[in-house]
Structure 1
C-alpha cells in the first residue's frame, strides 16, 4: 500500500483497476468561488491512493483526471458527494458522476444515530480508527506534510468496503431504490448549491 502525490494531473503511468473509483477533495474552505480546490484523492480499492494537487493559479486542465472521472461507465464513490462533485464542477468543469455517497446511504440506514461522519462509519462498520486531525489544516500550503497526505489518503481508503456494508443494510431495510434515487439527484443538488441555493429547500411549501 502506497500514497502517491501528483502535481496538476495524474501521471501518464497511473492506471486504475476496473470498477468503482473512490474520490474525495480538499479545499481552502467550503464555499466554491471563494475557497479554491487544492487536492483530489483517488483509490481503486486495491491498496494504493493517488493525490492530485493543484497550486494557486492552476488552470485545472488535468486531462487524465478528467477522462477518469467523466467516464459515464465508472461509478464514483464519495463520502459527502454533494460537496465533492460541486467543487470539482466549479474548478475542473465537469460533473464526476454516476456516483454513490456513503454519507447519504448511512443517513438512510443508520437512523439510530446522528453520527454519519467518515470516522464514525469506518469505526462501526469496519472496525478501524482513522484520525481527522488534519481536516482543517492548510491544504493550500506550498508543501503538504506527511500527516496531511496520510489524512487525505485515508478519506478514500475505506470507501469500497463501506459501500459493501452499506449496500447490505440498504437491501435489508428495503431502501436500495430510494438510495439510488438520492444518488441520481445529487448532481442537481450540487448545481443548485453553485447557482445560489445552498440552504433553501426549493421543494418546501412555505405559504
Structure 2
C-alpha cells in the first residue's frame, strides 16, 4: 500500500455500478471532509463531457466511471449537497461547473486549496503538482496527464493517476487548514468561497458575451448586431453542444455585423461561412437574429465608451498603490492578486469613495486603509534595507 500522512493508503476502488456508488456515498457522508476531482473532455462539446469522478475519505479512495451505462448518480448529488461534509477541491471552477450542470446546484461547503494556498503565501494560482511537492514531498507521475478519459477500458495506471488527485489532496487540506487556523485566516478563505458558491459565477450570460470580443468599431448599429450575434452564438452553441469557436470564431462576428446580410448568399460572403451553414437551421436562425438587430430603435443601441470619454486615474498614483500592495502582501505572506486586481487598484485611485472590494473585510484591514491614507497624503512610502515601509507624514 502507498503511504498518506504516515498511514497506509486504501486501495483505489473503480466504481462502475449504482450499488457500489450508493454504498460509497453513504460511507463518505459520515466524513468531516472529502476530497473531490473530475476528469472530463471538452474539445468537441460546449459542456464538459464528464468521464471520471475521484473521491476520497479516511478509508476510501474511489474512481467513479461516470460513463458506465445506467449508473445512478443521485447518491453523489445527495453527498455533494450535504452541508456537514466539507468538499475539498483544487482549482474547483471547472469541476463545480460540471456538478452545477448535473444537479442544478453548487456543492455545499466548498474549500478550494488553490485559493487557500494563495492566502497562505504560496503565490498566485499555485498548481496542484507544486503544492503536492511543497506540502507532502511527493512527486506526481505526469505520464497520463493527457489521457483520453472517454476511452474505455482504462488501464490500472490511468486509474491510479486519477486517484492521486484526491489522495494527496487530503494531506494538503489538513496542512493548509491547520496553518490558516493558526494564522487566523480561515475567514479569509471563507470570503473567497462565498463567490465560488454562487451559481452565477459559472453561468455565462449570453447578453454579455459580446463584451469579451476585441472590437474596433464604435458604430452603434454594428455594435447592436455584434451583441445580438454573440448572444445567438452562445445560445446556439449550448443548444447543439459544440464549442462556441467551432460555431463562429470571434473574428467572424464583427465581419458579419459589418456585412449585415439579409440572405444566405450574403452570409456566405463572411470568411469561413459555408453555404451549408448559411442555408441550414443555424444559418436561418442567425439571419433572423441579424434582422431583428437591424430594426432596434436608436435608443436601444449599445455603445462603447472610447478611452478619451472615460476618466483615467493617475498612472503614477496607480503605480504607487501597486508598490504598497506588493509590500503589504509580502509582509503578510499573501499572494498580491488575491488582495487586489489591477482594475480595482485603478478604480480606487480614480474614486476612493466608490464601492470597492479593496475596502471590504480583511482586504481593507491589510491594504485598503493604508491605500486610502496614501491617496490622501497622510503617509508616504520609503525603502529601508530590502523592504518598503510606510512613513507617517505630519498633518498640514
TM-score of the aligned structures, taking structure 2 as reference length: 0.45
Q: Say if 2:18 is the partner of 1:6.
A: no
- The structure richer in helix per residue is 2
Instruction: Describe the superposition over 1:117-175 as per-residue Cα deviations: whole angstroms up to 9, x where unpaired.
Output: 11111111111112233222111112111121011100000222111211233245443
Match of 1:22 among 19, 25, 35: 35
Instruction: Describe the superposition over 1:42-96 as per-residue Cα deviations: whole angstroms up to 9, x where unpaired.
Output: 01133x311111228x787512212211112211111112221111111344321
Q: Which residue of structure 2 aligns with residue 182 of structure 1?
A: 192
Which deviates further from its counterpart, 169-178 or 84-93?
A: 169-178
Q: Which runs of structure 2 are paired with 1:70-109 in the superposition (5 Å)?
A: 70-109=81-120
Q: Say if 2:63 is the partner of 1:54.
A: no
Counterpart contact for 2:31–2:58, Cα < 8 Å: no
Aligned residues: 202
The change in CA–CA distance for 1:141 and 1:161 in structure 2 (over 3 A counts) is same
The change in CA–CA distance for 1:65 and 1:10 in structure 2 (over 3 A counts) is farther
Counterpart contact for 1:27–1:139, Cα < 8 Å: yes
CA distance in 2, matches of 1:161, 1:148: 22
Counterpart contact for 1:19–1:75, Cα < 8 Å: yes
The change in CA–CA distance for 1:31 and 1:155 in structure 2 (over 3 A counts) is farther
Cα deviation for residue 194 of structure 1 reads 2.6
Gap runs ≥5 in structure 1: none
CA distance in 1, matches of 2:189, 2:83: 19
In structure 2, the residue corresponding to 1:195 is in which secondary structure? coil
CA distance in 2, matches of 1:72, 1:31: 34
Match of 1:194 among 184, 197, 203: 203
CA distance in 2, matches of 1:81, 1:165: 18
Q: Say if 2:43 is the partner of 1:64.
A: no
Q: Which residue of structure 2 aligns with residue 163 of structure 1?
A: 173
Give the CA RMSD over aligned residues: 3.1
Q: Which residue of structure 2 aligns with residue 128 of structure 1?
A: 138
Q: Which runs of structure 2 are paired with 1:141-156 in the superposition (5 Å)?
A: 141-156=151-166
